[in-house]
Amino acid sequence: MGPDKFQKISTGDHMDLAHELGRQGPSPSTRTPDGLYIGGGSWLSEPVCPGRSSASLGKPAISNQSCMIWDTLTRLGAWNPIPGQGRLLSVA
């Protein structure tokens, strides 16, 4: 899907797409993953990662947004766990 179409889809469709692609997982030729990373600068995957995707996969699912938040706060020495925001952001 090109950026011109991708940027026009609804928030709910963004989250559904992130969840569905995460459920598809790796190709059969790769090993079983320990978790799922969903990247993308304009992709609204963060709302679906800590809840729906992690629960249905039985493994942690994180997005580029949560990684950037964790990394930035850690580098600034201001990291504190954020309860209820998925495995990466909820732990020390």
Q: What is the DSSP letter of 79?
A: -
What is the reported pLDDT for 92?
A: 64
Q: Which stretches of the chain score pLDDT less than 50?
A: none
What is the reported pLDDT for 10?
A: 78
Are 60 and 91 contacting, i.e. CB atoms less than 8 angstroms apart?
no
**Portion of the chain with pLDDT greater than 90, in percent:** 12
What is the reported pLDDT for 63?
A: 80
What is the reported pLDDT for 80?
A: 93
What is the reported pLDDT for 74?
A: 94
Q: Which of 90, 68, 73 is nearest to 81 (CA)?
A: 90
Whether the full predicted model's pTM is greater than 0.75, yes or no, is: no
E strand or H helix that includes residue 61? strand 61-63
